Amino acid sequence: MSRAGSSGGRKHRRAGEGDGQCPPTTGGWTRTKASVVAEQNAHGAMSLRDCETNATYTVVAYASPAVRETARSLERDAVVEGRLVRVGCRANAWRVQDLAVVEDS
C-alpha cells in the first residue's frame, strides 16, 4: 500500500524545529537599551541597535497589541529599553516582550 502524500502519522514541523539543531524559540530573554535604526514598516517589522554592543535586532513580533502600538509610534534614533527573545533559529528575528521609551535627561 502506497503512502505517497501521507505523513504516516508523523507530526509536521518546520525545518530545524525539534531536530536537535534548534528549538522553536532559542535563547533566553535579552534585556537591552537600543536605538531605532529603522522605523516599523507596513508588516510591523523594525530594527533596533543595542547601545552598548551595536548588535542589531530585527523585530518581527510583539507580545501584545499595546507593545506593537508603542513600537509603531517610535521614530528613527529614539532610544528604548525592552526585553527581546529570539524567534526561530535561521535569522536575526526577535519578539519584543516589553518596550519603554528612554527619556532624555
Say what the pLDDT of residue 36 is. 97
- Measured between alpha carbons, how far is 30 from 8 in angstroms, rounded to an integer? 39
Supply the range of the domain harboring residue 77: 30-98
**Do the domain assignments include residue 46?**
yes
Say what the pLDDT of residue 46 is. 97
Contact 72, 40 (CB under 8 A): yes
3-state secondary structure of 29: coil
The pLDDT of residue 101 is above 50: yes
Q: What is the CATH number of the domain that holds 94?
A: 2.40.50.140
Q: What is the pTM of this model?
A: 0.71
How many domains is the chain partitioned into structurally?
Answer: 1
70-79 average pLDDT score: 96
**Do the domain assignments include residue 69?**
yes
